[in-house]
Amino acid sequence: MADGAPQRVRLLDDRRGAVAMEFAIVSIPFFLLLFAIFEMALMFFIGQVLDTATMSASRLIRTGEAKAQSLTQDQFKAKICAGMVSLVNCDARLYVDVQSYSSFGSYTPTSPLDKDGNISSTKYTSGNKSEIIVVRSFYAWPVMFDLLARSTTRLASGDQLLGAVVAFQTEPFPW
């Protein structure tokens, strides 16, 4: 029995592997936070790309090209998708809402979500000359790390909702 006590003391005094143990304890939260930061940065990047793609596609309505080409909602959505990077699934996750208003003051922002947290029905108009148009596009971003994204708009599926809005008056095109 006396022989076991010095062995235990030697084991407790042995510091080999302490750094590996400290790294194992600290690395898990560190990498979780690091991946959450990467995902948040990617989400902001995709949000910026969505803004730019929506603005570019909206020019078709503003100049009357959408009306001249008789673009449908799906075709207009495809124009927005063409401006997005290949990191996103436009077909299943992009929603486009284009509506006309009598004046800028008559537009009242509304939530695209219904009471259950799903995207409600969207509308589309190709616009008439000198008409106020509001183009809203929404992308359902799939979340992997929920650490930093708790304060953003959520869908019923748990995805984050990214959105872009462009408001303008169409040109007085001749047709």
- Confirm whether 136 is domain-assigned: yes
- Confirm whether 9 is domain-assigned: no
| Domain count along the chain | 1
- Label each residue of 95-161 as H, E or C: EEEEEEECCHHHCCCCCCECCCCCECCCCCCCCCCCCEEEEEEEEEECCCCCCCCCCCCECCCCCEE
Residue in this structure with the two tokens 């953003």, named with its chain if needed:
152
**Residue 150 is which amino acid?**
R
The answer, as to whether pTM is greater than 0.75, is: yes
- Confirm whether 128 is domain-assigned: yes
Supply the range of the domain harboring residue 143: 14-169
Name the average pLDDT for the chain: 87
The predicted-structure confidence for 53-87, as pLDDT tens digits, reads as follows 999 999 999 999 999 999 999 999 999 999 998 87
**Residue 88 is which amino acid?**
V
- Confirm whether 175 is domain-assigned: no
- Confirm whether 160 is domain-assigned: yes
CA 111 – CA 113 distance, rounded (Å): 5
The predicted-structure confidence for 33-45, as pLDDT tens digits, reads as follows 898 889 889 989 9
